[in-house]
Amino acid sequence: MAGLAIITEACIDVKDRACVDVCPVQCIYEFDPQKNVLFSEVQAGQGVENTHQPNPDAVAIFADSLLYVNLDECTSCTACYQQDVCPVGAIYSEEHLPNGSTRTEYNKADPNRGHDHTFFIELSRSVFAD
């Protein structure tokens, strides 16, 4: 489906949850390492709305340092990737995802982390186990 939202590495360690507040279907998830569950909220900090089980290998890469869009639930409504939502420009529609390979890779020393932005399309799909 065109317009699926992809969260990329600029979210890492920013994670202010501004996108959570504008998503009408609660499909933007955070990983809770203590409970080993992915959860979404209607508004950030207001309590769990939906949950999913994480794929252990995929969630281990960035764990709770960024948020994840469930692409099976995203309706491509466009709300979260409007310019005034994410303070660091971390969210793109899938077809407008820039190829980050011309910029510094996230972490060249770690083969699990050195990726261009297209990596995050695959991560968005693989992090959800159910």
Closer to ligand SF4 by Cβ: residue 69 or 111: 69
What is the torsional sign of CA 23, 39, 2, 115? positive
β-pairing verdict for 28-32 and 48-52: unpaired
Residue 86 makes contact with ligand SF4 by CB under 6 A: yes
* Contact mark string toward ligand SF4, 2..21, x via CB under 6 A: ---x-x---x--xxxxxx--
25 close to 72: Cβ distance less than 8 angstroms? no
> Which amino acid belongs to residue 78?
T
What x/- string results for residues 26 through 55 when contact with ligand SF4 is judged by CB under 6 A?
A: -xx---------------------------
- For the record, the structure tokens of 24 come out as 């009408």
Does position 125 bind ligand SF4 by CB under 6 A? no
Residue numbers 56-75 binding ligand SF4 by CB under 6 A: 67, 69, 74-75
- Which residues of this protein are in contact with ligand SF4, per CB under 6 A? 5, 7, 11, 14-19, 22-23, 25, 27-28, 67, 69, 74-80, 85-86, 88, 90-91
